[in-house]
Amino acid sequence: MFGRTPRKKNLRHDEITAFLGAGTQYNGQFNFQGIVRIDGGVNGDIASDGTLVLGEEGFVEGSIRVATLISNGRVKGDVEATDRVVLNKSSTLEGNVRAPSMVIEAGAIINGQVSMDLEPLAQIPENTGESRP
């Protein structure tokens, strides 16, 4: 229309592709590509192969599965990252964390278990009370 041809935008790997501002609230499953910054709140699970940046006012209540999480805010739920998790000094995390690499700044709070591998956890056999030979 109007003689213009649509241009395909080339995304840079260090460029924020979406932003959820302070004072906004999102409810439901949240999927994205690239880098997303959240300064508002999300009630629901987040899944991506990209990077999630959580600002100081940002809040997520739900599980997070991303390549990289950089948190300055609050998370209430389990986190799994395929690359790394960075918890800066203002970050609070209530849940379990699985990532091959973690950076935890002094002042960050974690209430949960931390696992630094992404291999499936081996099933622990239940103790049935039977003696083994």
Structural domains counted in the chain: 1
Name the token pair of 87: 């918890």
Per-residue pLDDT of 56-115, as tens digits, reads 999 999 999 999 999 999 999 999 999 999 999 999 999 999 999 999 999 999 999 999
Q: Specify which residues 59 forms β-bridges with.
A: 41, 74
Residue-number span of the structural domain to which 97 is assigned = 16-104
Could you tell me if residue 118 is inside a domain? no
Q: Are 79 and 60 in contact (CB under 8 A)?
A: no
Could you tell me if residue 113 is inside a domain? no
Could you tell me if residue 126 is inside a domain? no
Q: Provide the residue count of the chain.
A: 133
Residue showing tokens 């960075």: 86
**87 or 117, higher pLDDT:** 87
Could you tell me if residue 82 is inside a domain? yes
Could you tell me if residue 128 is inside a domain? no
Q: Are 98 and 79 in contact (CB under 8 A)?
A: yes
